[in-house]
């Protein structure tokens, strides 16, 4: 399984040139093997970005989210008890709760994470692709 950070979902949908070559490769391989996933918090983050005008699209936010998920058959993973506990642990120095949840999702599912976030890329015990 490969968990995608929020910005990776947005870049893939709207600005694929912003993705690194390893990130694009992971997306293609994950898509081909039906192994892509994201945390449900990423959907909330994208909806918030659209609502605040930080992502300009010509479609409704619901349609955008559905298009992102369906385009690559991304499995949306809920925040489980295990993920919640990992995310609030001392394992993370990262202050952003959504990023903590996304990384905790990857950890809980023993998945690789595609992210450009330098804080997440420093974590041990998780393979971060960028």
**Domain residue ranges in the chain:** 2-129
pTM listed for this prediction: 0.94
Does 94 have pLDDT greater than 80?
no
Residue 119: per-residue pLDDT: 87
* pLDDT, mean of residues 87-98: 83
Q: Where are the beta strands (DSSP E) in the chain?
A: 2-4, 36-39, 75-77, 112-114, 128-129
pLDDT value at position 125?
86
Q: How many CA atoms lie within 13 A of 43 on its CB side?
A: 19
Q: How confident is the model at residue 95 (pLDDT cuts 50, 70, 90)?
A: confident
* pLDDT-derived band at 120, boundaries 50, 70, 90: confident
For 43-56, how does the pLDDT look when each residue is reduced to its tens digit (9 = 90+)?
999 999 999 999 98
Mean pLDDT value of segment 103-117: 96
Architecture of domain 2-129: 3-Layer(aba) Sandwich (3.40)
Pairing between strand 2-4 and 112-114? Answer: parallel
């Amino acid at each position: 399984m490969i968990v995608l950070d929020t910005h990776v979902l947005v870049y893939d949908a709207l600005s694929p040139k912003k993705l690194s070559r390893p990130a694009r490769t992971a997306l293609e391989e994950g898509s081909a093997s039906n192994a892509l996933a994201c945390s449900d918090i990423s959907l909330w983050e994208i909806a918030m970005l659209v609502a605040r005008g930080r992502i300009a699209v010509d479609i409704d936010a619901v349609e955008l989210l559905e298009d992102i998920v369906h385009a690559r058959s991304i499995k949306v993973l809920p925040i489980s008890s295990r993920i919640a506990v990992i995310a609030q642990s001392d394992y993370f120095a990262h202050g952003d709760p959504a990023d903590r949840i996304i990384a905790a999702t990857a950890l809980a599912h023993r998945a690789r994470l595609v992210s450009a976030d330098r804080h997440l890329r420093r974590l041990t015990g998780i393979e971060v692709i960028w």
